[in-house]
Structure 1
Amino acid sequence: MKRKKLLIGAIALFLGFTATAQDKADFTPSGEVNGKVFFNYHYDMTKGTEKESSFEIKRAYFGYDYNIAKGLKASITLDVDKNDGGSDYTAFLKKAQLEWKASSAVKVSLGMIGTVQFSDQESFWGYRYIMKSFNDEYGFGSSADLGIKAKFKLSDSFSANAFVINGEGYKKVQDDDGKQRVGASLIYQNKGLIAKVYGDVNSAKTTVAGGTEKDVTASALATFIGYKFSDKFRLAAEYNLLTNGTKYSKVSDNHDLEGMSFYSTYTFDKKWEVFGRYDYLTSNTLEGETEKWNLSNNGNAITAGVQYAPVKGVKMALNYQGFMKKDSASEDNSMVYVNLEFKF
């Protein structure tokens, strides 16, 4: 009996080693280069504008993904863009992350990671090469930051994210106080419906009235719902709120921003579609003031156009972009764009 048990154990151990060796043999490390460019020509019809038209490259991304082992992937992406110093093109580190699929229900990413505040909204909007999604466009959040995040599959319909990041974005990776931003999101997806709620908080010392310093906590709330009625038509709406901040990375006591965004697309076939979007941005009025603190940037934005995608990896669009300002002393913006995206 004892020998029989030993024999069975040896066979089990051998089969285990064989299965492990087979797994290793089945996996081959591999990598892939990727790139994306946003190009446009625009004509500015705003009254009094000096620069009427221009060709631009707004963004150029260059990256590499490498599958190290099963469930383990490394990614790096460079973002070529203008910097605060005015240089036309500067390469920023947009992504440098290690992604580990711990199980079928848990995935962990760390390093310079993509954030989750508006990733689903941007994907549903579908025209990042024309205009950023609301949170990104008006400074409610950043698309990447240094930190760690975990994604959890809770059920067939529900998933959640939790994260800790520096909070300054990928162009300025950490402020002097060393405090982090923490947050989470919950997403529901079922057939054509997607709904999402997101929240985060971060704090910093700020100078208030009288010249004294105090800790102020800023928070962001993002809600989103979208529905694909068919392969032809999709519609979405967002509500977003930033409290105690003039921007996601700039904590400021009692300075709030809020806004809404609505967008829709109708697809005629694989090559042609029309789209439209409406944004509304506003801010609060500070104590003792008569005008809203962000009046010069508050207003309504309209974007509408038609997209043509002749082949995989190439998209182009003719569109109108207007911004009607709440400040009566400022001219409304009115522009016509021809946008192009090509990627590999």
Structure 2
Amino acid sequence: MIRIGNYLIVILLSICSTSSFLKAQVFNSDDSSFAAGTPKTGRLWGYAFGDYAIKAHSDSMVRGGANQYTGMKESENAFAFRRIYLGYDYNISKKFSTEILLAAEDNVTHTNAAGNTTTSGDLLTNNKYTFYIKYANLRWRNIWRGTDLILGQSMTPAFSANSERVWGYRSVERTVADIRRTPSFDLGVSLQGRFDNEGNYGYDLMVGNGTSAVPENNKFKWFYGDLWASFFDKKLKIQLYGDYERLNWTNSWHHARNMVKAFIGYADKLYALGAEGFINHGQNDVAGISGSSADTLNADALGLSFFGRASILPGKLMAFSRIDFFNPDRHYDNQKYETYQGFSSHYDPNTKEKFITAGLDFTPVGNVHIIPNVWYNSYDGRQANLTGVEKHDYDLVYRLTFHYVFGK
């Protein structure tokens, strides 16, 4: 009886604690009321997207690095989630708010014809899908007029608030800078400001580890900054972005990188158009190899992206397309050097890439999307005297993507 009594006391205390918590906190799925900063209001939200994908053709040289279909065998097919989000936003007061976001992303593991295993994503050691902490931060609103201070793990200024939103199909593919793994989030401190009351002009500054959710393992930090502007009732958006990080810095080894990026896009309910381009300069970032000798060289990577979408049946059916061009080093010299070795993990200096996607977005009800689409990425080898599949080959995937949103 004593044990039963103890259990009942624990249960009652738990119920009382839960009741007090629910009374003190209002869960609200209405974006507008939450954004107003009403104290002690919270919002639980999330979304997910994934596909049924069929690999129609596979690059014979297994190029593509961390791309989601690198190494997937031709004719292989699979059902897979590529992202699941579960987030909670809470207004502590009118001045302070916080957010936490759990993410499970890109659970892709394939073995190619040569027996090489390629894994892309955030997996447990047994390759099971799991959540990790993507955002966890505290926002201090109007630390001075028009500027918020954000402490913790949060969105970077790189593309998430501008080009990704105008593109509108992260469920289909990352933006051109995101594919090359420019961090979309980082752990650090940020200032997010507006120059006018209407929110048409603003800036973002951030200093972070540069390692996203992975703990820092060096003394160098990643510096981010942008200026942005909106025109024509916020339909036209322009962004200028830059970042910088030292990778290694000694008397004999100065290794660093910095990106400069520009974006312009126009979006309304019926159509959208956008263009994005970057130059990513790598100081002492590649080695040009000729015979037994190697020269350490600078490299300038170029990326360009053009996209558009248009409504076919308003509110029900949208068509979209996009093309990207990526040159990992515009100074590449295949007459002087036999091959290049890159020091940055997401760039293969010996291969140009071209990415194309197109599809239809069927929306049976708001926040639910069924998206048949084509995913294509081609590879052009840059060394001298290449022929056949070494000179050119591609990955081609046919997909039926699903995407749904809740709480927003």
Match of 1:127 among 153, 162, 169: 169
3-state SS of 1:179 partner: coil
Say if 2:54 and 2:76, in contact at 8 Å, map to a contact too: yes
Q: Where does 1:93-172 land on structure 2 (aligned, <5 Å)?
A: 93-102=133-142, 105-119=146-160, 120-139=162-181, 141-155=182-196, 156=198, 157-170=200-213, 172=214
Matched, 1:258 2:302: yes
What CA distance in whole angstroms lies between the structure 2 residues aligned with 1:27 and 1:304? 41
Matched, 1:52 2:90: no
Question: TM-score scaled to structure 1, two decimals?
Answer: 0.82
Match of 1:203 among 246, 260, 277: 246
Q: Superposition RMSD on alpha carbons, in Å?
A: 2.5
Instruction: For residue 313 of structure 1, report the CA deviation from its aligned partner.
Output: 2.1
Residue 52 and residue 215 in structure 1: after superposition, are their counterparts in 2 closer, same or farther (change >3 A)?
same
What CA distance in whole angstroms lies between the structure 1 residues aligned with 2:227 and 2:315? 32
Match of 2:51 among 35, 40, 57: 40
Matched, 1:306 2:321: no
Aligned residues: 307
Residue 286 and residue 89 in structure 1: after superposition, are their counterparts in 2 closer, same or farther (change >3 A)?
farther
Partner of 2:337 in structure 1? Answer: 289
What CA distance in whole angstroms lies between the structure 2 residues aligned with 1:275 and 1:75? 32
Residue 73 and residue 297 in structure 1: after superposition, are their counterparts in 2 closer, same or farther (change >3 A)?
farther
| Runs of 5+ unmatched residues, structure 2 | 1-36, 61-72, 106-120, 287-295, 342-347, 382-388
Matched, 1:335 2:373: no
What CA distance in whole angstroms lies between the structure 2 residues aligned with 1:236 and 1:27? 35
Partner of 1:184 in structure 2? Answer: 225
What is the one-letter code of the residue matched to 1:125?
A: W
What CA distance in whole angstroms lies between the structure 1 residues aligned with 2:275 and 2:131? 33
Partner of 2:257 in structure 1? Answer: 218
Instruction: For residue 314 of structure 1, report the CA deviation from its aligned partner.
Output: 1.2
Residue 273 and residue 233 in structure 1: after superposition, are their counterparts in 2 closer, same or farther (change >3 A)?
same
Amino-acid identity (%): 24
3-state SS of 1:45 partner: strand
Say if 1:205 and 1:213, in contact at 8 Å, map to a contact too: no
What is the one-letter code of the residue matched to 2:169?
A: Y
Residue 325 and residue 206 in structure 1: after superposition, are their counterparts in 2 closer, same or farther (change >3 A)?
farther
Partner of 2:378 in structure 1? Answer: 324
Partner of 1:174 in structure 2? Answer: 216
What CA distance in whole angstroms lies between the structure 2 residues aligned with 1:194 and 1:83? 32
Instruction: For residue 181 of structure 1, report the CA deviation from its aligned partner.
Output: 1.2
Instruction: For residue 166 of structure 1, report the CA deviation from its aligned partner.
Output: 0.9
Instruction: For residue 83 of structure 1, report the CA deviation from its aligned partner.
Output: 2.7
Partner of 1:12 in structure 2? Answer: none
Say if 1:162 and 1:184, in contact at 8 Å, map to a contact too: yes
Instruction: For residue 145 of structure 1, report the CA deviation from its aligned partner.
Output: 0.6
What CA distance in whole angstroms lies between the structure 2 residues aligned with 1:51 and 1:80? 26
Greater mean deviation of Cα atoms: 76-85 or 329-338: 76-85
What is the one-letter code of the residue matched to 2:308?
A: S
Question: TM-score scaled to structure 2, two decimals?
Answer: 0.70
Partner of 1:62 in structure 2? Answer: 86
The CA deviation string for residues 46-78 of structure 1, in whole angstroms up to 9 with x for no partner, is 057345211111111111111110131111111
Partner of 1:21 in structure 2? Answer: none
Greater mean deviation of Cα atoms: 103-112 or 263-272: 103-112
What CA distance in whole angstroms lies between the structure 1 residues aligned with 2:139 and 2:279? 30
What CA distance in whole angstroms lies between the structure 1 residues aligned with 2:39 and 2:195? 30
What is the one-letter code of the residue matched to 2:207?
A: V
Say if 1:46 and 1:331, in contact at 8 Å, map to a contact too: no
| Runs of 5+ unmatched residues, structure 1 | 1-25
